[in-house]
Structure 1
Amino acid sequence: MKKLTRTFKQILILILAITFLGCEDDEGNLPKVVAGFTHTINVDNGVVTFINISENATNYSWDFGEGSTSMLINPVKAYPPGEYLVTLKATNVAGATEVFVDTIVISDVGAPVITLLGDTTINIMLGGSFTDPGATATDDLDGDITTNIVVAGDTVDVNTAGTYVITYNVSDAAGNAATQRTRTVIVAADVVAPVITLIGSETINITLGESFTDPGATATDDVDGDITANIVVAGDTVDVNTAYHLYNYL
């Protein structure tokens, strides 16, 4: 019985030795694992497509440098602007591994946006006052950069009639420039048009052959006051014997 047990142990040791030597021989005969990758970057949205160029590997482990991982062969990853250290670990069937590391740089390519406050064209009277309503600016990465807006162009002189153009520009921290916005300020002695008010109804119906008297209209201006006498009446001459006529007041 002791002899049988001893023989069994010897056989077991022999099997383990053969298995161990066989594994070592397999690993030694397998081609060397080579890890590597290239990548392309979509500059519009920061999406990186990784292209695995590893050799003699069957499993892949990715660390994207910002806390996330993947086991895909050719993963696709969306990054915000920044710099990331990406690691690829390639492994063969025998467990041999190699690691490849590269740095991915995602640039900030989104330009900020300027929004004017108030009207793009402002009319003011000669001698009046003017305060620029200003503008705001936002960036997809830097946030509110209103304080960085550069206001240039003409200086509005309310005592000199003319057309003045004010410009607004801003860039984000990465140097992306916003589309310039402009505001036009018109300084004139009288910039408000007069108002015509019809007397009576806009549409008057009369029976063919009856008499007609135009009720007229009034006109007022913020500077000139009552300018009813300056109204020019044009259009059709009403012929009560002919259907349909149109009056214009200018």
Structure 2
Amino acid sequence: MAVSAITRVPFALPNMPARPTYELTDRDRRLLSYDALKVWIKPDADNMRRSGKALRIAGRKGYMAYTGDDAILIGDGMTGDAKPVIKMPGNTTGSGELPLHVQGYELNESTGYFVACVIKFGAAMVASGVPYTFFAGGVDTSDHDVQFYMLNNAMALSHGNIAAQQTTGPLFTAGGCYLVWASYDPASKVGAVGVNSVSPRNWATANVLEPAGAGRQVAIGGKFNVPGTAGTQMFLGDMAEVFICDEQWVTPDKEMIRADFLADVASLYGADFTLA
């Protein structure tokens, strides 16, 4: 049965309170119809559980987000505190406190990736000298890790120890809401990033980004430290939704699907930002 035909889906979430039905909006149906979409993390009142320091958020595509840092919270955020969000504290996690990550999901080094995050920067965001991670795969400083982040009020995308591709700035303000995205094509070794636009930003640098290695576990709003036991370079502010696709949306033949997907994501956030 096509996804578009599903109106009410009863299911029990693993390790979560079961609810008898889950109502799909038209936006949900459109987003779920994208075959490449593998991870969709969106907090709400019924899909998360806190137990001590541990926080689990059931994703809408089957993967679960988990953190062992009790400074990462679920609350209300975005414009007017009108939407449920993940509250990210910035800085690093404590010893043994894992960053928010997607359990069991790894980047596919052969097909590339596309990731989009709906965010609001915290009021204490520093525009210079402090990196804020949107998305990462692997561990800090490894030869084949991936990191998509803000630094010096510009966006950067790095693969391993190769110098990052970076855009020009300034792009962000403290308290501002944004839809940020990144994608990478391993065949051409080309990456692209964007903010509040279906079109990519121009790169200020022109470094070739080598493909990510196998086994790159995905972290959201942070990175794993080298031993994989704590988190570094965490985001500061709200994360309302995170989407991860297992194919590149960089090449010209993918521009239309990228634009349609981002428009569907943005359709819930008219009070927060305008998609160009």
Considering the TM-score relative to the shorter chain, is it more than 0.5? no
When Rg is computed on C-alpha atoms for both structures, the one with the higher figure is 1
Q: TM-score, normalised by structure 1?
A: 0.18
Q: TM-score, normalised by structure 2?
A: 0.16
